Amino acid sequence: MHTLVIVPTYNERENVAELIPALLELPVEPEVLVVDDASPDGTAEEVRQWQQRRTGRVHLLCRPEKLGLGSAYCQGFQWALQRNYDVVVQMDADFSHDPQDVPRLVAALSEADAVIGSRYVSGVNVVNWPMGRLLLSWLANRYTRWVTGMPVADATSGFKAFWARTLRRLRWERIRSNGYAFQIEVTYRLWRLRCRIVEVPIIFVDRRSGLSKLSRGIVSEAAWMVWRLRLSSFFRDERRYYADAAG
């Protein structure tokens, strides 16, 4: 399978220097697309060096400013669909998602349309987070499930694998959410399309280096997003997010 791993970055030079070779060595032989939001630390330059070493397997999208996680993934997904990959994986750059788990997520697509690397599907599998951060994440997922009715334990996970044909069912130019809200929205819209979503347990480890991008605004956006998603299901305008008539 022609597989692409998409990694959004902002000031992640130290991490991508280790992550790119770790991904390239995986048995599923993925290509890597880094979507960089004009990182001042030279992240893009680090990626360019890997492009020279591994021609054809490392790709770079440079954006003019910090535009946000959601738009980075939307642009990355559209880039992948234009180039006819079979499978697309999304993950963080900071090693909170173990690259060794990528083959497990890809393998699980044999019985699913989309796969979530889940921190909460088999207990709580989070390492080195402060208790307040862990409680916020866990409660956010319980809240999301309660409001939307979506039977997913970790709707805010940023570690996912999709068939490209699944991604083609959404109109990515319509999605404007970011952060946790983006993760919730994508999962919800695929669920509304009756896609088969499988959760694979992972161990999430807090970032090795650099600063977290979590902010109060990201949390607030997610809290309101779940109600907007739930209410949108009662109106016909929900269909504008879908490339087909399913759901």
Local mean pLDDT, 10-residue blocks, the chain (247 residues): 96 96 97 97 97 94 94 96 97 96 98 97 87 84 91 96 97 85 93 96 78 56 72 69 65
The pLDDT of residue 132: 82
Residue 3: both structure tokens together: 């597989």
Q: Confirm whether 198 is domain-assigned.
A: yes
The pLDDT of residue 163: 98
Q: Confirm whether 235 is domain-assigned.
A: yes
Domain that holds residue 78: 3-241
The pLDDT of residue 208: 57
CATH number at residue 155: 3.90.550.10
Q: Confirm whether 247 is domain-assigned.
A: no
Residue 108: both structure tokens together: 């699980």
Question: Which residues share a beta bridge with 170?
Answer: 242
Q: Confirm whether 71 is domain-assigned.
A: yes
Answer yes or no: are the C-beta atoms of 233 and 188 closer than 8 Å.
no
The span from the CA of 119 to the CA of 237, in Å, is 32
Q: Confirm whether 246 is domain-assigned.
A: no
Answer yes or no: are the C-beta atoms of 57 and 152 closer than 8 Å.
no
The pLDDT of residue 214: 52
The pLDDT of residue 246: 44
The predicted-structure confidence for 120-151, as pLDDT tens digits, reads as follows: 999 888 888 788 888 888 888 998 999 999 99
Q: Confirm whether 161 is domain-assigned.
A: yes
| Count of domains for the chain | 1
pTM beyond cutoff 0.85: yes
The pLDDT of residue 98: 97
Q: Interior CA angle at 161 toward 157 and 163, to 5°?
A: 140
The predicted-structure confidence for 218-228, as pLDDT tens digits, reads as follows: 566 666 777 77
Q: Confirm whether 212 is domain-assigned.
A: yes
The span from the CA of 214 to the CA of 217, in Å, is 8
